[in-house]
Amino acid sequence: MTTDLVEIPGYVAGTWVVDPVHSSVAFSIRHLMVARVRGRFGDFTAEIVTADDPLESAVTATIQVASVDTGNADRDAHLRNADFFEADRYPTITYRSTGLRPDGEAFALDGELTIKDVTRPVPLRLELGGFGPDYFLEDPSKGARAGFTATGRINRLDFGVGGEGTVPGGAVVLAHSIDITLDIEAVLKTD
């Protein structure tokens, strides 16, 4: 299948769900402006609909905030509290695409991200890993898998996540920008 600018070998139209074992929702942020702290969310779902016309495709996703994991239990608990995500009050982060367009060898996925009941437009750069048979099935030809990588950047203050925070000398404790990387392996729904 081809779009005006991008060829998509093996393209399969249909509805897909995320294989959480082979997918990740990760982020990184500068700490004290000298190093990056990385984290991930371990509990998330998404539905991807690849349309006959690839540019009509859509995605919706939900992330469970309480599943945040930075490798440090104390920091994770802090991220869940009112200083950052307020997980008890706002248990999910959601994303809903609003459009898809070619962007060089990849795509630009336009969408709306909602964190703490604040919704903002957030475009993502979307790269297709490919489409292929589902080798986890007894008969791989009866299913399909697809791979996608989406990257983007948000300003955490736009969503009310954390504050300004500085240390003596004026260095910012946490950068305002958060880099997001989603590596998704999806399974074609066959029912």
90-146 pLDDT, tens digit per residue, is: 999 999 999 999 998 899 999 999 999 999 999 999 999 999 999 999 999 899 999
In-domain check, residue 3: no
Range of the domain at 56: 14-188
Distance CA 124, CA 37 (A): 21
Does the structure show a pLDDT above 80 at 21? yes
Question: What Å distances lie between residue 81 and 39, 40, 69, CA to CA?
Answer: 16, 17, 14
Distance CA 11, CA 132 (A): 8
How confident is the model at residue 163, as a pLDDT? 77
- Confirm if 116 and 159 have CB atoms less than 8 A apart: yes
In-domain check, residue 1: no
In-domain check, residue 4: no
In-domain check, residue 157: yes
Question: What Å distances lie between residue 17 and 122, 147, 158, 175, 185, CA to CA?
Answer: 22, 11, 29, 33, 9
How confident is the model at residue 166, as a pLDDT? 56
Q: Is the dihedral of CA 65, 71, 73, 78 positive or negative?
A: negative
In-domain check, residue 8: no
How confident is the model at residue 7, as a pLDDT? 65
Tens digit of pLDDT for each residue in 25-83? 999 998 877 889 999 999 999 999 999 999 999 999 999 999 999 999 999 999 999 99
How confident is the model at residue 105, as a pLDDT? 85
130 CB-side CA count, 13 A:
4
Distance CA 114, CA 93 (A): 6
In-domain check, residue 31: yes
Q: What is the mean pLDDT of residues 141-167?
A: 90
Question: What Å distances lie between residue 147 and 10, 23, 54, 71, 99, CA to CA?
Answer: 12, 9, 15, 26, 19
What CATH number should be reported for the domain holding residue 114? 2.40.128.110
Does the structure show a pLDDT above 90 at 6? no
Distance CA 95, CA 44 (A): 11
Q: What would the two tokens of residue 97 be?
A: 């695409």
Residue type, 73: A
The distance in angstroms from the start CA to the end CA of the chain is: 24
Q: What total number of domains does the chain contain?
A: 1
In-domain check, residue 6: no
Does the structure show a pLDDT above 50 at 5? no
3-class SS at 73?
A: helix
Other beta carbons within 10 Å of 176: 16
In-domain check, residue 9: no
